[in-house]
Amino acid sequence: MTVYKIPNIKEILKPRWAHKPGEAVNEKGWHKQEARQQSSAPEDKNLLRKLEIKKGEKVLAIAGYYASWASEIARLGAKVDYSDISNSMVRWTKRKYGKLFEKYICNNYELIPKNPNEYDWTFTFEACGGGSGLPIAYLRSLLNKKGGILVLHVRYGTARRKMGSKPRTYPRIIKTLSKVYGAKYKIKDIRIKSHRFKHPIRMILHRIHIIKTNDKARQLAKQDLDALFSNKFNQENLKRLNQFSKAIEEDYLKTIKK
């Protein structure tokens, strides 16, 4: 009998606190936030090229928050579906951006996309959950035609703590997916013309994490996602998910003996 550690979907999908416009949480806890934007907001005509997205490609933006990034990607010519777990954030974004986005989706990012080849890319800027649900979301990105992109704004010195665990968990997610599913990846630091709240526009350093899928990775990811959400596993599912679980914190794993 072999013991496997795999993602505990029931634990990962437990209800969580959802942002409302004007609210924020950081290392000091809950607070009011007047600025209605993400920690950096791009205004860069070369953004699609820097993210390796082409005009006309279909992008699922997960954990979209105030949509600073999703809206710029859409304005520059990609077809973007905006999503967030918070009903109030989705309503706020729809009022602000209207028809800029193809769809507005309120859902857990672990549950979308549903079908292979529905999107070219899954994109997020500084989404939380790197040790719990975000790895599942990027396992789903392998269902896409091209893959997934995770972006964070690089800080230094005392501001580094504002990145939380992301500099550690983001590369771990894509490196683990690459190893288990045979998908290529790259990590690059690149300056993107953007601004921080009321600060002037300037070139700000961002770290881009890209996972690129293929036919085999897409097929295996679909098999393992179906197994995870139906709770019906074969030996091959369990072997891969046991390896994939290295991207997930211990509290969000369960043990299966087979």
Domains in the chain: boundaries = 3-14+41-257
Rounded to whole angstroms, the maximal C-alpha distance in the chain is 61
pLDDT at 27 exceeding the cut of 70: no
Per-residue model confidence as pLDDT tens digits over 159-201: 778 778 999 999 999 999 999 999 999 999 999 999 988 889 9
pLDDT of residue 155: 87
| Mean pLDDT score, 58-80 | 98
Predicted confidence at residue 258, as pLDDT, reads 80
Is residue 47 scored above 70 in pLDDT? Answer: yes
> What predicted TM-score, i.e. pTM, was given to this entire model?
0.95
Q: How many Cβ atoms from other residues are within 10 Å of residue 257's Cβ?
A: 8
Calpha distance 81→55 (Å, rounded): 14
Tell me the residue ranges of DSSP E strands in the chain.
Answer: 3-7, 23-26, 29-32, 41-42, 58-61, 79-84, 103-106, 121-125, 147-153, 184-195, 202-212, 253-257
One-letter amino acid identity for 196? R
pLDDT at 31 over 80: no
The CATH number given to 3-14+41-257 is 3.40.50.150
Q: What's the DSSP call for residue 137? A: H
Per the CB < 8 A criterion, the answer to whether 74 and 80 are in contact is yes
Average pLDDT value over all residues in the chain: 94
CA–CA separation, 233 and 258 (whole Å): 10
How does residue 17 score in pLDDT terms, banded at 50, 70 and 90? confident
**What's the rounded Cα separation, in Å, for the pair 63 and 228?**
22
